[in-house]
Structure formats: structure tokens, C-alpha cells
Amino acid sequence: MVVSKHGIVASEHPLASQAGAMILADGGHAVDAAIAANAVMGLVCPMMCGIGGDLFAIIWERDGTPQGINASGWAPAGLTPRFLKSRNLDSMPQSGVHSVTVPGAVAGWALLLERFGRKSFADVLAAAIQMAEEGFPVAEITAQEWSNREAFLREDAPAASTFLPSGRAVQLGEIFQNRDLAASYRRIAADGRDGFYEGEVARRLVDCIARRGGAMVDADLSEFKAEWVQPISTTYRGWDVLEIPPNGAGIAALMMLNILEQFPLAEAGHNSVEALHAMIEAKKVAYADMQRYVADPRFADVPVDAMLAKAFARGRARSIDRSTSSAAISPAELPAHAGDTAYLSVVDGDGHMVSFIQSNFASFGSGLVPEGTGFPLQNRGALFTLDAAHPNVLASRKRPLHTIIPAFMHKADVRIAFGIMGGWNQSQAHAQFVSNVVDHRMNIQEALEAPRFTKLTFDGRDVMVERRVPESVRAGLSARGHEVEVAGDFTTSVGGGQAVMRNLTTGVNYGASDPRKDGAAVPEPVTRR
């Protein structure tokens, strides 16, 4: 772990962490540092995140209470099942123009700075603007992810000209400049939220959609607002664990933990057959219920209290066969009435903490880049359904079910801001991280590095585990009916995480960064202010 009396920024790229740490050294709040780091992440990892995507965050002031922000964008007013049917589409497109929802990130930045910021937009975007203009050397994992999407980027001319500057993906160590993104950031630095949702950037975005036959219009952007939300929580063996409420999927992590309290994971041993079997099956149960009930609460009555009830979890735990893998899980009956991501966390020297996640959803999102803007548009609309009976059905100005989730956990004088990216991997990875800390007494770096499993499908007995899970354990899971796929020692398929921790009594901060990403936990440099 990184250990410091001063602030720490943990992100998926050292340049992003460094930008945030420098803001802290200049007297910035943890929120200022998070936005500075996020802006750099949108430059150095453009496939993962950027101002064409959404964000969520949980902020905990030193002497305050946790507050959440939901900056997930809505569907254009004209993007409806009827509209898609008129285009001969009977399911939600997974990329392209009809998968694009309004980007929420900049609205989230504005809301965060308005309440907590000590710095201006110009201050927090300065490092990203300079790097975008001067260029930066592309890192290892980022280069691989870029190369993987080369053919996809060729499908859109502005995307190819922006992200394939020499006619191919940028490679390890090559310098990449994005002056278009620098220009977009300058407009935001000058005009704040309006520099994105109105004016030149907005015009280019709407033109991009219109030329491809999409439904987005000026008002879909100008009328969008991010919102403050109250985090939801549960307890796990004496720790409080917090997630963002629906339309986010973080409730699945809390449901998993409630179920896992019924199993003696500490006694079973870390990544034992018994422990992994319980966690994999708990994942199936929690995700079945999440997929059935979670939607935009402005359109559907999501039964959050019922889903998080301990008695409900005990009943769901009893449905798990402790000796055999299940092929399919049906969601429970509840009283309901109606991809690729970047995570970062910050703690500052005063003890303010931010758990912050931002995403394009799939790698390079929809694959569309508004001409001259330097960023891809997300494909978050892909997570809607066209099933009219489902609460997550596509509708005008509705937000889809969201996979990206920031998290917090705390007990006594210890607070931990953490997150692990990776589409449907996230909730199950959160539960594994919490169990590592609570059941197996790992520090936050150990808890991130420990071997993980992931099951990215909802039905079936398939599960992926990292090769560091012992062969005897893998054989034991197979004997229980799990169809085990073995991945590399540290595979990005199980996501990459970051974490910061503060001991309130000593005032000491700790940072951790997952080796599955290019990132680093960087301490605030000690300077004379």
C-alpha cells in the first residue's frame, strides 16, 4: 500500500493519479482531484471513459454524511421502442447511433464542483488540456485495448481519424495527441456545464447523431441534469457497505453480501472450494433479482428495501444447493409496483473521500465520435430492453440500468473508498473485495491483488477464475458442476480496481492500485503552500 499523512489519488493511469495529486498539493478538495484525474483518464484511456459517457460518485466529507451523485444520462425523447421498430429493429442495438444516450459526465463534474470544489473548471482541466495538446506516451494495457478495437474504430470516419491517427491503433510508447479533445475541454473550462450541453460541442454532438439517423435533439442535452442521491447500504459482519441506488446495479453487491453472511467464509478459507462455490451461487441469485427489478426509479417502483432485507437474504441463501452448481436461477417474487469503465478514488489530507466511476460502457462506446470533439459517445442505451412488461424497457428521457458502481465501506474509525470496473463483473467483484477485507483480514492492496472469479453471464454453470486459484480448488468446483474457464494470473476479465483508506483516529491515509490495470496510487507531493 501507499501510506501517507497527506492525500492519495488511486486511478487506472499514473498520469491521471499524478494530475489529481498535484491538485491536492495546490489546496484542492478530493472532488477537485477526482475530476482532474478523470479528465486525464478520458485522454489517456479513451476506450474506457470520457466526456461522452456517464459517471457516479459517493462523496464523504470528513465530518459529514455520505452523499451520492447520479450523472447517468437519459435516452433522447425521440428514442422509443416505436422509433426503433420504424427502423426495423426488434432489440436494443449494442453499438451505433441508436445505442447513444445523453452523456452525463460533465453535468456530474459541474454538480460536484458546485457543492465541494475549491478549484475552478479551468484549474481541474488544465493538466488534461496540456497533455492533450502536447501528447503522451501510450501505456501497455491501454495499447492492447486500443489494438483490440481497431476494426471497430474504422467503421466511423471521425472515430478513425481521431483514434487511428496513422491509420492504425496507437502502440506502446507512441505519442498520442488529441487537440480536438483539448478544444472540447477548453470550452468546458470557459463555460462549465454549458460548454458541453450548449454551444459548439452540443451542436457537433447533435449533428453527429442526426447525420446517422438518430433521435437526439438540442433539448435532450440542454435539459439534462445530474442529481444528488442517497446511497443505499447493508451491513456485513459488522461493516457498513454503501453503493449507489438504482438505476445502478450496486444493489446486487449488497444482496450478495447479505446472502454470504449465511456462509462461514472465514472458516472455509480464502478461495476454497466451499467459499468460491457459495460466492458464485450467491452471485447468480443476486444478479437474477437485480436484472428483474432494477430500473430508473423515476419510471418504476424498484423494491429496494425488500431486496436488501436480511430476512429476504436468508430465504435466498436457503435456495442455494451447497454441493451443486445451478444452471439457472429464477428471480424472487417481490412487491414491485410498476461494460468498459474507469474507476478512481481519492482521499485528501483533511479526510474528505471520493469513490468515483466513469464509463463509455463498451470499449470506445457506440463507436461514434462527433466530428472535431475528440471523444467517443457511450452506448449505454444498449442496456435497455424492448420488453414492454419489463421495468427497464426503453422510454423517452429514461435512464437505463447501469453497471458502473462506486462503493464505500466503513467500521469504527476506518473508511475505505473502493471500486472495481468491468461491466457485469462489478457487483460480484465488490463482494469479493469486501469479503477479502472482512473475512480474510487482507489490507486493501492484498484485497485487490487476490485471485478473483467472474461470471459475466446470468444463466448457465460457466465461471472464469484466475490461474492463481489452485488447481485442486478448480477441480473441486468442476466436481460440483461448475464449468470452469481458467484465465491468466492477472486478467482484466475480472476487472481492475482502486482503493483508498483513512484511519480517522491517526489521520493516516492508505492507497492501493490493481496490477490488472496500468494504474497507480500516487500520494500528494509535500510542498509549501
Report d(CA 345, CA 280) in Å as an integer: 27
Cell of 501: 483508506
Q: Is 341 an active-site residue?
A: yes
DSSP assignments along 426-458, one per residue: HHHHHHHHHHHHHTS---HHHHHHS--EE--SS
The answer to whether the CB of 222 falls within 8 A of the CB of 197 is yes
Strands 462-466 and 483-487: parallel
Assign 312 to helix, strand or coil. Answer: helix
The answer to whether the CB of 300 falls within 8 A of the CB of 391 is yes
Cell of 231: 446511497
Q: Which residue among the candidates 80, 162, 234, 341 is catalytic per the annotation? A: 341
Report d(CA 103, CA 72) in Å as an integer: 7
Residue 161 makes CB contacts below 8 A (sequence gap 6+) with none
Residue 457 makes CB contacts below 8 A (sequence gap 6+) with none
Assign 231 to helix, strand or coil. Answer: coil
Cell of 28: 484542492
Residue spans of alpha helices (H) in 294-441: 304-308, 310-318, 425-438
Nearest residue to 128 via CA among 226, 53, 49: 49
Report d(CA 365, CA 363) in Å as an integer: 5
State the catalytic residues: 341
